[in-house]
Structure 1
Amino acid sequence: MIETLGALLKNLGIGYKLLFIIITIISGFLISKLIQFFMTRMLKKASDKLHVDPTNYSFLKNAVSFLIFIIMMIVIFYSIPELKSVGLSLMASAGIFAAILGFASQQAFSNIISGIFIVIFKPFHVGDFIKIGELHHGTVEDITLRHTVINNPENRRIIIPNSVISSETILNSSITDPKICTFLEIGIGYHSNIDKAIQIIQTLALNHPNIYDNRSEEDKKENKDQVGVRVVNLGDSSITLRAYIWAEDSGKAFVMKCDLLKSIKEQFDRDGIEIPFPHQTVYLRQEEPIKITQV
């Protein structure tokens, strides 16, 4: 298409060629402003949902304007025969520089693309409690197109590049429904009273301030237990009980689980319910000394 346009401009005078350059520049400017207008509206909506500063995305609009400017210059240089040779020389030298720059900024560009995907697909928002992979977890404080800032339970900020987040599994404890069911597993001895142990776990859990009643109205009418406890394993030396306890969010669930582990252990000790632990019995055998008889 550019070659056809160049053939048409080849036989025209200098005045028409200058007019073509002016029209191309004005058109590129108008297209750039139009795209920036729609991008500003789109990014503002995304910023409001993520509760971040919309100026974080201003560089993206500038990058689009720069791209349009490059396309406009290519059209001008390739359409006018007198400028074509100059344009080829400039493009050859710029190509080498672009290759070096592209190689150096490959990781940064990957972070930007991953940040755009986070903005579009919204796997988490500011204020969500998430876990990235197996190492990092905490509350999301800020999301930019380069990195995400997480405040962990130790009140330390973890800055994770968006490209790393895109390649990891994300566990979001706050999305849609923040309620969480905590699994509390405790082993008791085979000679211990199972029903008594279950009753202790249920009573202590119901008395904890962080417990949440997740039963439906139908479950309440049927008088189903608020804290379900099941025997989930018959091990080599213990019977494993699992309690299903609900809390409003992961933070309260963690505190409740820690408190119950302590209170259940103390109550089991008072009621004589054993919590087995690995132990070994060592038998020492003393051999009789060998008697040597002389002949």
Structure 2
Amino acid sequence: MLYKIIKSILIIVSSVIILKVIHYSLNKVFKFTKFDERYENTLFSVLSSISYYIIFILSIILVLREFDIIDATKFGTLVTGASIVGLIAGVASQSILKDIFSGFFVLFEKQLQVGDFVVINEIFRGTVEEIGLRSISLRDWDLRRITIPNGSITSIRNYSKNKMRIVVHVRVSYEENPMKVISALDEVCDIMNEKYKEYLLKSSSGDVKTQFKVYGVTDIEDNPVGAKYTLTGVVESYKYFSALREAKLQILIVFKNNNIHIAYPTHINILHHKDNEKEL
């Protein structure tokens, strides 16, 4: 009995070592490939997940064989043991199979890759850190790791698919001259197009495809605060949040320099003095 326990421990230790060797080998192989970095990280994550499950299943079979639960040399015994295991798995792991199949669809349809910033199910937001057969792991803004079963994914918003359109809205008081506001927003676009042109979407030859521009007045109805102005620009996806922050900052700076006030809710209170009422 002691011999079987020791041998089982050796099987487990060997499995761990094999996994380490596989991970090391994958890292070495990907150093010589010319794939995109995010694609390499995705392949590494998926292949690591697959190797983990294969080695885990083989280790379980070998350990069970040591205790004469499964005899791999006898087909009948193996089939019987596999049938029992399969029956248990079929009852208890329907969700696991759903996760695996969903994971294959996510991978084959290239809905996301390791390193992408995504919003899943309109709830979970973060950078994809690991893609496995059963689940996807995100790292959110607070550096918390979020693990989501593939089978529970109903929607994916990917902010890292080559290009993204920045849309910035700003409300300005109705008292401001509209042409003055548009001129100031044109100035913001010029700053973004010159000072931050590395953010802009470029063609394969390096030419800028689309620059920042003022879209115009986009809302004046049913809003007592002010008119809404909009500017847009198409940027490289990985620069989206940096460009968005910078565009908003430049709006504040240019508006302040031009003495343009952003609209905000105000309340006017009218007070009647009693003495004035008596005189009237």
Query: Which TM class, normalised by the smaller chain length?
Result: 0.5 to 0.7
Task: Give runs of aligned pairs for residues 1-295 of structure 1, distance below 5 A.
Answer: 50-52=42-44, 54-58=47-51, 59=53, 100-165=88-153, 168-175=154-161, 178-208=162-192, 209-211=195-197, 212-214=199-201, 226-235=212-221, 236-237=223-224, 238-250=226-238, 252-283=239-270
Tell me how far 1:55 sits from its aligned partner. Answer: 4.5
Q: TM-score, normalised by structure 1?
A: 0.57
Task: Render the CA deviation track for 1:209-242: whole Å, top value 9, x for unaligned.
Answer: 43445599xxx9xxx9742331111133311101
How much does 1:100 deviate?
4.8
Seen in structure 2, the aligned counterparts of structure 1 residues 138 and 281 have a Cα distance that, compared at 3 Å, is same
Paired position in structure 1 for 2:5: none
Structure 1's unaligned 5+ residue stretches are: 1-46, 67-72, 78-86, 289-295
Identity of aligned residues (%): 25
Q: How many residues align?
A: 210
Return the alpha-carbon distance in structure 2 between the equivalents of residues 204 and 243 of structure 1: 9
In structure 2, the residue corresponding to 1:159 is in which secondary structure? strand
- C-alpha spacing 1:225/1:260, structure 2 compared with 1 (3 Å): closer
The one-letter amino acid paired with 1:150 is: L
Per-residue deviation, 1:244: 0.5
Question: CA 1:171–1:267 in 2, change beyond 3 Å: closer, same or farther?
Answer: same
Q: Bigger radius of gyration, 1 or 2?
A: 1
> 1:138 and 1:210, CA in 2 relative to 1: closer, same or farther beyond 3 A?
farther
2:262 counterpart SS class: coil
Closer/same/farther in 2, CA of residues 214 and 262 from structure 1, 3 Å limit = closer
The secondary structure found in structure 1 opposite 2:95 is: helix
Taking the aligned partners of 1:113 and 1:179, their CA distance within structure 2 comes to 29
Deviation digits for residues 56-110 of structure 1 (CA, Å, limit 9, x no counterpart): 224469979x9xxxxxx9xx87xxxxxxxxx9xx79xx66x75554333232232
SS of alignment partner, residue 52 of structure 1 = helix
What is the letter of the counterpart of residue 52 of structure 1?
A: F
Whole-angstrom distance in 2 between the partners of 1:276 and 1:285: 28
Q: Which residue of 2 aligns with 1:10?
A: none
User: For 2:114 and 2:255, how far apart are their aligned partners in 1?
Assistant: 42
Alpha-carbon shift at residue 122 of structure 1 (Å) = 2.5
Contact kept? 1:214, 1:226, Cα under 8 Å: no
Alpha-carbon contact 1:210-1:253 (below 8 Å) kept? no
Contact preservation (8 Å) 1:52, 1:142: no
Give structure 2 stretches of 5+ with no counterpart: 1-38, 62-71, 276-280
* Correspondence for 1:43: none
Distance 1:263 1:213 in 2: 16
What letter corresponds to residue 171 of structure 2 in structure 1?
G
- Report the 3-state secondary structure (helix = DSSP H, G, I; strand = E; otherwise coil) of the residue aligned with 1:190: coil
TM (norm. structure 2) is 0.60
Q: Distance in 2 between matches of 1:51 and 1:215?
A: 27
* Cα shift at 1:284: 5.5
Distance 1:120 1:248 in 2: 24
